[in-house]
Amino acid sequence: MNKSQITTLKLLRKIYSSFSGRSESTKPVSESDPDIVSNIISEKLTSGSPTMIARYGAFELKTVTCYMDQKTNENRLVNYLKGKSEGWWWDSELIAHMQNNAGFFPPTEENLARFSQLMINDSQYVDVLGSWLPREKRIGTLPENHLKVDLELLNPFFSAAPWTKALEEKKVLIVHPFVRSIKEQYQQKDKIFPNGLLPNFDMKIIQAVQSIGGRNDDFRDWFEALDFLKQKIDEQDFDICLLGCGAYGFPLAAHIKRLGKKAFHLGGSLQLLFGIRGARWENPNYNPIYNYSALMNQYWIRPQMNETPSNSKKVENGCYW
């Protein structure tokens, strides 16, 4: 497919959508009561069974469905024009987003296909999915009995009985790039959250690989970096692992469940549990229902300078910083 052909197909797809009035963008039904969601998460974290609580990233999931649509020839033109499928080519914009926003490197077609198959395989381990994307409905490997909850309610701030109480006196492993900020903020957690949202627990932190912008000189590719993080996790003694490490989070959560332990892939909002600001959540209009900026007081900080990549502004205008 050349650029002009792709542009024409995208235009025809928009025209069809505008005239038909049909939309394939309906989100899956998910639990939207903050207290019910918090109870679901608490029960999973305190049960005796291995657990995977996770969410998909937008660009990661689109990569997966794009890969799926490249593997079928049946009605692919019609399905694309009707918005029922992705294109049967690797879209250059998607590749750029995978490299820049998701930190996937190098974004070759072979690597993107390998990543997609990994995500499809690891989806079978999901117990609770933070749901927000229509494309989730296309992942057939998700277990029939998995629970879908509103993505924003993976965060504990809006429930009268926050799931964070389940962390009390547990050995909690955290995988995140803001190691120093998290350590310092944990020491003043009761000032950050005067309501006691964050209990006492035995905290260990693994420095997440930072490959935003699609480059990390320490590893040959994204998969080598993923294996490095798996090895680091294998070396730790923990009860629950909280993950905020970009595209690495979902497959790491599946790996942890296979180890017989509990994983909670919160993603970017994990930093909020430790009173670490980000431009995304400082915007009171970020979410029409839940105002994250109202949580912030004088004890909240920005990530430290050595935790802020030089190209941070390339990622949604510095949304995590």
Q: Write out pLDDT tens, residues 270-319.
A: 999 999 999 999 999 999 999 999 999 999 999 999 998 877 777 777 78
Q: Measured between alpha carbons, how far is 13 from 289 in angstroms, rounded to an integer? A: 32
Q: With left for phi above 0 and alpha for psi between -120 and 50, is residue 87 left, alpha or beta?
A: beta
Give pLDDT, residue 217.
Answer: 80
What mean pLDDT do residues 54-71 have?
A: 97
Give pLDDT, residue 16.
Answer: 82
Cα 244–Cα 320–Cα 268 angle in degrees, nearest 5? 25
Q: Which residue carries 């490490």 as its tokens? A: 245
Torsions phi, psi of 11, nearest 5?
-65, -45
Q: Measured between alpha carbons, how far is 293 from 295 in angstroms, rounded to an integer? A: 5
Cα 50–Cα 55–Cα 59 angle in degrees, nearest 5? 140
Give pLDDT, residue 308.
Answer: 85
What mean pLDDT do residues 223-249 have?
A: 98
**What's the residue count for the chain?**
321
Residues in a beta bridge with 31: 149
Torsions phi, psi of 205, nearest 5?
-130, 135
Is a pLDDT exceeding 80 seen at residue 1? Answer: no
What mean pLDDT do residues 80-100 have?
A: 91
Tokens of 87: 């294109």
* Per-residue model confidence as pLDDT tens digits over 127-179: 999 999 999 999 999 999 999 999 999 999 999 999 999 999 999 999 999 99
Q: What is the three-class DSSP state of 113?
A: helix
Q: Measured between alpha carbons, how far is 172 from 203 in angstroms, rounded to an integer? A: 5
Angle between helices 58-70 and 109-122 in degrees, nearest 10:
100
What mean pLDDT do residues 35-60 have?
A: 99
Confidence of residue 23 (pLDDT cuts 50, 70, 90): low
Confidence of residue 75 (pLDDT cuts 50, 70, 90): confident
Q: Which amino acid is residue 263, in one-letter code?
A: A
Q: Measured between alpha carbons, how far is 170 from 242 in angstroms, rounded to an integer? A: 12
Confidence of residue 15 (pLDDT cuts 50, 70, 90): confident
What mean pLDDT do residues 13-34 have?
A: 83
Give pLDDT, residue 22.
Answer: 59
Average pLDDT value over all residues in the chain: 94
Q: Which residues of 20-49 are buried (b: 16+ CB within 10 A; e: fewer)?
A: eeeeeeeeeebbeebeebbebbbebbbeee
Give pLDDT, residue 138.
Answer: 95
Is a pLDDT exceeding 60 seen at residue 255? Answer: yes
